[in-house]
Structure 1
C-alpha cells in the first residue's frame, strides 16, 4: 500500500505557475487549491509518496 506525505502551502496569485512548477519538480502533486485569507493568496494542498 502506498504511504503519502502531505504539504499545505500559501501561493501568491501573481506567481502561481512558478510556485506550482517548483513544488512539482520536488515530486509534490497538487491535490486542491482554495482561496486564502485575502484575494492575493491561495492555499495549495499537495501530496507525494513517502520514499
Structure 2
C-alpha cells in the first residue's frame, strides 16, 4: 500500500500490554518490527502498563 496521493503519511496503531519486569524486551521486539512508542499509560492493575505504538503504513 502506498502513501495517499496528497503526500500525507498514513499510520497504523497498536496497543500492547506491558509487564513491568519485561517492558524493555517487549518494546525492543515491537521496535524491531518498525513500531515507534507513542505513550505508556497505567493498565487495569498495578503490575501492568499499556503501550501505544505507531508505524508508517508501507
Give the TM-score category using the shorter length.
over 0.9
Q: Provide structure 2 residue ranges, at least 5 long, that are not aligned to the other structure.
A: 1-7
Q: Provide structure 1 residue ranges, at least 5 long, that are not aligned to the other structure.
A: none
Structure with larger Rg: 2
Higher strand share: 1
CA RMSD in angstroms, aligned pairs only: 0.4
Would you identify which runs of 4 or more consecutive aligned residues in structure 1 move more than 3 Å? none
Match of 2:35 among 7, 16, 28: 28
TM-score (normalizing by structure 2): 0.86
